[in-house]
Structures are given as C-alpha cells and as structure tokens.
Structure 1
Amino acid sequence: MPAVTSVALLPVLLTGCMVGPDYRTPAPPATDRYTTAPLPEQTASAPGASGVPQRFADGEDIPAAWWSLYHCEPLDTLIRKALANSPNIASARAALRQSRENLSAQFGGTLLPRVDAQLNATREKFNGITFGQPQFAEDLNLYNASVSVSYALDLWGGARRGVEAAQSQVDYQRYQLQGAWLALTANIVTAAVREASLRAQIAATEEIATEEASQLKVLKQQFELGGIGKTDVLTQQTLLAQTRATLPPLQQQLDETRHQLAVLSGSPPNDPTLPEFRLEMFSLPQTLPVSVPSALVRQRPDILAADATLHQASAQVGVATANLYPQITLSASYGTQSLTPAELFRAESTVWAIGAGVLQPLFHGGQLLAQKRAAVAAYEQADAQYRQTVLLAFQNVADSLRALDHDANGLRAQTDAWQSASDALEMARGQFKLGGISYLSLLVTQRQYQQTVVDLAQAQAARYADTAALFQALGGGWWNDPLPETAAAQ
C-alpha cells in the first residue's frame, strides 16, 4: 500500500500546486452607455459634402481599415506606406519578438530539465600525506567525460508563475504594437485633415486679400478724384496688410503638417512624393459604429496593455510567495573517469551519481517577506492604473461622441453665419457704391465675412478630424485585421 501511495503522489510532487492569486480581468464599469444623455439617432445636417448627417450605430463592428470610409485613395496609399515603413511600427515589432524569445527562455530555463555534457582533462599532483601514505606522491593526468541532468521541482508553482508573467509581457508588447498601429493611422488621418483645413483657410485668406487689394485700387481712384479722404485709403491698406499678415502663420502650420505626414509615413520631411490633401478629397463617413462599453475594454490597446500589466503583477505575487517555501532539486550524472585517454571509455571507468537537495529559506533578513509585500503593492498599483485607464477610455469615447454631435450643430450654425455674412457683404458693397453707407460700415461687414470664411473651413475640418478621433477612441478595428506579428498570438 505505501508503494501505491508513493506512485499516486508522484504527479503531485512533480507538478505541485500554484501559490498566489489566479488572475481574472476586472469587470468593466456597470454602464451601458458613455454619455449622460442618450445620443441622437443622427447628427444635424448642413449644406455641402461636409454637412451630411452622421448616424450612430450602436454595437456595430469597426472595419480594420476604418480610414477607407473617407474614400480618399491618396490617404489609403499613404497609410499603407506608413504601416510598411514606420520606425515606430518596426520598433514595436522588434519588442514583441524580444518578449517572445524571453518567454521561450523562461519556459525552457525553469520548467524543463537541464542536461549538460562535460569533458575534462587535468594534470594534478597527488599528495599521499592526505591518506597517511607520504611515499605515494606523484603527478598524474585525469580524464573525465560525463552527462549530467538536473531538475528543480516546481512544487509551489513559482516557475509556472514566472512563465505566466513572461507570457503577460508578450501580451503587453502585442498590445503595444496594436496601439502603435492605431496611433499611426489615426495621426495620419488627423494630419491629412489638418492639411486640408489649412489649405482651405489659406485659399480663403488669399481670396479675401485679392478682393481687398481690388477694393484698395478702387479707393485710390476715388481718392484721386476727390471722392473720399486719405484716411479711407490708409484704412484699407491696413486691412489688406493685416489679412496678408495672417498668411505666414498658416503657411508655417501647413509646412509643419506636411513634414509630420512625411515622417509618419517613414520618409524624410522633404519627401517629393507626398500627396496634397484638400477637403473636397474626403467623404464624411455617414455611419459611425459605436462599441458598447463592455466590448470597449476588449478592444482598446491601452486597456488591454494595462490588463496585461496587471496580469504580470499578479503572477509576480505568486513568484514571490513561492520563494518562501522549500525548493527541491533532483540531479543525476553518468560518465567515465580514467588516468589515460585510452581507458576513458572502458566499462570499468564508469562513474555515476544521483541525488536530491532541499533548500528551505530560514533567515534572509526579512528580504523574502518584503519582496512579497512589494509584489502585492505592485499588483495594487497596476490594478488602480488599469481602472484609471478604463475610465479615461470611457471619457475619451464620450468626448468624441459629444464632439461629433456638437460639430454638426456648429457647422450648421457656421454655414448660416457664413451665408448671412456673404449676403450682408454683397449688399454693403452695393450700398457703398451708391453712397448709402460709410466706408467704416463696409469695413466692419468685410471683417465679419472674413472671419466666417475661416471659421467655416475650421468647422468643416472638425467633423472629419473628430470622426477619426472616435474611431481611435473605440480601438480602430485592429482585431479584424491583425498585423502578421500579432496573428499567431491571437
């Protein structure tokens, strides 16, 4: 009966238990929506391509190439180039490969037996005094060939928890890669829209400057004929100069945006192949998939990365706990030993050894207990960081949803303002020619119109940019088309 009991206990001794917490991802916040008030079925509409209403589709999935919803082929081409050439993506891929190799090393180094072969040849002096035979003292050669095996029993699961921690690091690096993919694509879309907006603002400003220059020419003619005073001419010159002064900052922003796009695509800032983007090249996505909150925590790379960090911290608690318990090591060796090479592999030269060792920590100055307490504190820190990451993600989505609703209302109001300002300017010019209003009144109307033109371009671009921000906030759809380096780990 004792022999049967020993055999039955052998698998338990070899595998043992696993001390420390078994990890479970924390539950998401108990909510079914992101905003306090429910979203409208669709946003407000306004004239023009950028004024189409957008519909919020709760629970619908996000396509992997979400930027293709803008129907801008140059944008699609640039993003494909960026994904292939971006140093940030290459760096994240390398970090993922490194973590996988570290996992392999952790698994092989702690859960599998260690087998080593050894071949030694030494020359030494034999001292017979050690054995009470001083007359036996001579130099000799000693040859040894052996194979040794050692294995540390993972009775408490410390090694398995270490592998669990290494696997969590692989998960973390995979989500970092997906996060880099999402950030790169979203940044390119945002920069392309910003370039288009800046071009629209520059074009509008240049058009205004042209009209003001034409108006200045007319005023000079009227001044020469004595119809107006010098003050009106100087005022118009000032207005024209002020309008032209707004161009260099806009052009600087445009240049910086172009440089950013080139670098994001993995090219130098002076890339001659970089496409030019204008607002009319984009179509505003009319259907906006909105993931439910419970799905968001499984989609956003930053949440998943925080979850992997928390999992790793949980596993490290198990490692620190296992270090408090006895460690058992089994070892065996088999080989030959002789005084000459010719006798090394003879049967009578065989030597072997088999043994076991137990190490029980007794007093380490409180080190092991302190390490366990530190691991628990690190887990609590990671848990708090995870919960904060989830809350910020929900806020990010809520802000993006509200921004799209407000953007649509703002664009409609801004379109009305631009139309009113345009009509008012046309009427004011006619009245001024007929002498019905003063030049000062015309000037005020011109200024109002100029501001509405710039504001309209910004309002149009805001809808495109905030749409991209929503896709980024929801995770970007990477799970529908994982990168080659992440596919094997899904």
Structure 2
Amino acid sequence: MWARNSRSLLLATALLAGCAVGPDFVRPDAPKEQGYLPAAEQPGRLEAIGQTQQLDTQALLAADWWRLFGSPQLDAMVATAIADNPGVQGAQAVLRQSQDNLRAGHGVFFPQVGLALGATRERATPARLGLNGPGGIFNLFTLGATISYALDIFGGERRAVEGLSASVDLQRYVLLGTDLTLTGNVVNTAIAREAYAEQMAVLQEVIAIQQEQLSITRTRADAGTVPYSAVESLRGSVATTRAAMAALAQHRDQASHALSLLMGQATSQASPPEFALDQLHLPADLPLSLPSQLVRQRPDILAAEAQLHVANADVGVATAALFPVFSIDGGYGAESNALGDLGKTQSKFWSSGVTADWPVFQGGSAWFGRKAVQEAYVRVLSDYRQTVLAAFAQVADTLKALQYDAEGLAAQEEAMHAAQAGLKLTRANYASGLAGYLDVLASDQQYQQSRLAYVQALAQRYQDTVALYVALGGGWWNAPSRGDGAMAGGKGTQP
C-alpha cells in the first residue's frame, strides 16, 4: 500500500511540475586533508649538487611544464608527439564522436516530422473482408506527412541527454589524461635514453682501464711475479663490464625506439634529437596542489567523476521507465487510385491525438533493472573513491622520492668527489714512486664506478620531478583555450 501511494505521489508531482525523476547529480565533496603526508614527513627544501628545489602550494603549475627543463630538444619531441601520436588522435576522435552523439541526442526535444510517398499496384480479394466475388487489380498512390512530439513529462529523455553530456566530459578528461601520460612518457624516456648513453661513455673508460690492467698483469704473470689467476680474474672483469655495456646499449636503443613510437614515427626513419643531462635545468619552484585542488584538476579523477555523472543519469532514465510515456502524434495526407486525384478533397485523410504507453506488467524487468542501475552507481562511486586515494598515494610517493633523490644524489656527489680526490693522490704517489701503476688504474676504476652511480642518481631526480608534474595533473587548466580538443581538451579553465 505504501509503495502504491508513494508511486502515485511521485506521478502526481511529476505531472504537475514536469520535473525529471531520479536523483540530481551532486559532485563528490572535496577532501578535507591538508596534505599527502604526515606533517612531520613533509619534505621542505630539497638540496643537492648546488641545486635547490622548493615545494610551494601557491606556485602555478604550467600547462607546458616540460619547457621548465630548458631543453629545445625536449620541447621539439613533445610537440611532435602531441601532433602525431596515434593514441592522442584516437582519443580526439572519441571526443568528437561523443560530442556528435550529444548533438544527436538533443534531437529528441524537437518534433519528429516524416514524409512518405508510395505507389503500389496490387490485386485484392474480397474474401479477406468476408465478401464474395472476384478480386480486382488496382493502383494505389499515397502522399502523407506524420509528426510526433514526445512529452518528456518524467524527464527520461532529459536524463538520457544529461548522460550524453557527461559522456562528453568523460572523453574530454580521457583525452587530457592521454596528453598528460604522453608528455610524461616522452620526457622520461628521453632522460632515460641520455642517461644510458652517458653511462655507456663511462663504461667505455672503465673497459679501457681494465684492459690496461689486464695487459700489465699478463706481462707480470709471464715474468712470474704474480700468479696467472690474477690474469683470469681481470679477464672476467673485462667481460662483465662489456656485458653491462651491451645491456646499456640495448636499453638505450629501446628508449630511442620508444621515443619514435611516442612521436608517431617509424623506428626505421625516426631520429629523436639528443642532448646531455647536464644541459637540463632542474626546476627550482615545484608546485604542490592541495588535495582539495587535486580532485578538481587530475584528469583521471575528473574522468571518474564524469563516469559517476553518467551512472547517476542512468538511474534517472531507469526511474522514468517505471512511468508512462506520453506523446502527441498527427498525420495528414492523401490516398487515391489515380495519381491525379491526390489533390481532391475526398482523397485526403488526417489524424491527431495523444498516446500514453505504460507497461503495467513486465515480470519486474523495469523495477529490477532500476535496482541494477542503482548498484552500478554504487560501484562507480567506489571506483571514484579508489581513483582519488590512488592519486593521493602517487603524489605522496613522488614527494618522498624527491626527498630521497636529493639525499641520494648529494651522497653520490660526495662519493664521486672522494673517489676523484683519491685518484689524484694515487697519481701523486705514483709520480713519487710510492704507488704502482696498477694502484692508479684501480683508483681510476673506482672513480669511474662512482660516476656511473652519479649519472643514475641525477637521471632519477629529473624523472621524479617529471613524475610530480604528472601526478598533480599537468596544469592543463592553466592553458589557453584552443578549441581543437588537443592538450586543453577544448577547455582552458578549471571545472
């Protein structure tokens, strides 16, 4: 009884107000957290190798953040990737498709008009009408027009169009996410490739040192002053270093091929420009959006929110399906056995009326279909919350990575300077006759190994800086509106 009364009340209210049934979409509340880490763990000034990075919640996150590294080569590769990457072009096509679907969906709010013209020749038999007699052959010409208009009293069509509009937002944010992932991958891959190349250069010097050690040791072994096992040990060291060189060369080539793929170019024809790591500028002022800002900026969170809007609109559509569908229909035309008689008064016909279609019993299909859509909304809401938590964790990981990068890089710089100083002292001792040449070579090899670790630490600091820009959403809301669906996704303002 209560359910019938509730449905009757909802029906009467909707008829009077012409409102759309189902819940109106409300954006999830922004989180109240003021940071991503406990206050005691929040990094402050990040200092290493004479460069300082400062996190600032008031700093502007540039849309073209990769330009802050000061590398024309990086800028050129990113520009090529944005223009030619097939994944971005596909995401742009999906966005345009969703926009066209929305325009098509708006057509339901206009009268639907149709024209029909028919000419047939047929033989009819009176027996179909319960009469006796022979049949006859005749021509039938028809000219008519129909018009119908859906009275969206319960808002099912409005909710459907609302869902299409939310789908446009979804695809816009997917495109923004594609752009952000692409630019981050291009910059990170380019940095990795140059780090591999620089490590290969260092290893080449290590191999030269080891080969010189091997030559001296072999001479001393032939003279009987050292055991021959020392020769074999050095041979093994040279082979191990050459294997490491081959692995680095493979990684460098893979990174180069990955850059070609990201830039939408064939690996046989592409030649991504090169640069040196020491040519990059490390951004000093690092923006740090608050969690309440992040949920309104990150494309993946905004896409999850748009998906939630779609699911909410689906609930409205399913709710409207529980009530009757009203429409106004009309028709006008002429029908005659002779084409010339279509204009005569006796050949004309017309009709008009209002129809209501209300499936009374469907075995619970509409009712349980609505419940299924409601559960789908709950699932999408859970996905949204999971996306937000994952975003916060990614920012937290990146902040700690930057802290440890600075500490690790400073330690590697100190180790490299210590090894370099040790090499100078060993050379001085060798010149004074206090050390052998093998001691010089061993000290030089230790220095080169410290250089390898330093290059790795430096590249990691650059890459984690890139990771912060990506984790914060890339600054697309600060880009000027372009209207072409690229980068700014057709929108230059924050939602």
Q: Give unpaired runs (5+ residues) of structure 1.
A: 1-11
Aligned to 1:34: 36
Aligned to 2:8: none
> Quick one: which amino acid aligns to residue 298 of structure 1?
R
Asked if the contact 1:123/1:142 (under 8 Å) is kept, the reply is yes
Distance in 1 between residues matched to 2:430 and 2:66, nearest whole Å: 49
Change in CA separation of 1:45 and 1:127 when aligned onto 2, cut-off 3 Å? same
Kindly report which structure 2 residues correspond to 1:11-410, keeping only aligned pairs within 5 A, or say none.
16-37=18-39, 39-47=42-50, 52-108=51-107, 110-128=108-126, 134=132, 137-223=135-221, 227-410=225-408
Deviation at 1:126, TM superposition (A): 4.8
Distance in 1 between residues matched to 2:126 and 2:248, nearest whole Å: 95
Asked if the contact 2:189/2:258 (under 8 Å) is kept, the reply is yes
Alignment counterpart, residue 464 of structure 2, candidates 463, 466, 481: 466
Aligned to 1:5: none
Question: Per-residue CA shift, 1:254-279, capped at 9, x if unaligned?
Answer: 01000000110010113343212321
Q: TM-score, normalised by structure 1?
A: 0.90
Deviation at 1:434, TM superposition (A): 7.3
The 10-residue stretch of structure 1 (233-242 or 398-407) with the greater mean CA deviation from structure 2: 233-242
The 10-residue stretch of structure 1 (242-251 or 270-279) with the greater mean CA deviation from structure 2: 270-279
> Quick one: which amino acid aligns to residue 104 of structure 1?
R
Change in CA separation of 1:36 and 1:334 when aligned onto 2, cut-off 3 Å? same
> Quick one: which amino acid aligns to residue 341 of structure 2?
E
Asked if the contact 2:144/2:334 (under 8 Å) is kept, the reply is yes
Deviation at 1:202, TM superposition (A): 0.8
Deviation at 1:22, TM superposition (A): 0.5
Deviation at 1:443, TM superposition (A): 8.4
Aligned to 2:3: none
Asked if the contact 1:333/1:354 (under 8 Å) is kept, the reply is yes
Are 1:487 and 2:485 counterparts? Answer: no
> Quick one: which amino acid aligns to residue 450 of structure 2?
T
Question: Per-residue CA shift, 1:179-218, capped at 9, x if unaligned?
Answer: 1110110000000110111112111111111122233333
Deviation at 1:313, TM superposition (A): 0.3
> Quick one: which amino acid aligns to residue 260 of structure 1?
A
> Quick one: which amino acid aligns to residue 23 of structure 1?
F
Distance in 2 between residues matched to 1:437 and 1:278, nearest whole Å: 36
> Quick one: which amino acid aligns to residue 24 of structure 2?
D
Deviation at 1:280, TM superposition (A): 2.1
Distance in 2 between residues matched to 1:14 and 1:315, nearest whole Å: 22
Are 1:476 and 2:474 counterparts? Answer: yes
Distance in 2 between residues matched to 1:132 and 1:347, nearest whole Å: 29
Change in CA separation of 1:126 and 1:394 when aligned onto 2, cut-off 3 Å? same
Q: RMSD value over aligned CA atoms?
A: 2.6
Question: Per-residue CA shift, 1:349-376, capped at 9, x if unaligned?
Answer: 2210012221122111111111101100
> Quick one: which amino acid aligns to residue 214 of structure 1?
E
Number of residue pairs matched by the alignment: 474
Change in CA separation of 1:131 and 1:369 when aligned onto 2, cut-off 3 Å? closer
Asked if the contact 2:15/2:154 (under 8 Å) is kept, the reply is no
Distance in 1 between residues matched to 2:149 and 2:232, nearest whole Å: 93
SS in 2 for 1:464: helix
SS in 1 for 2:39: coil
Distance in 1 between residues matched to 2:390 and 2:271, nearest whole Å: 38
> Quick one: which amino acid aligns to residue 29 of structure 2?
A
* Identical positions, percent: 39
Deviation at 1:421, TM superposition (A): 2.5
Aligned to 1:422: 420
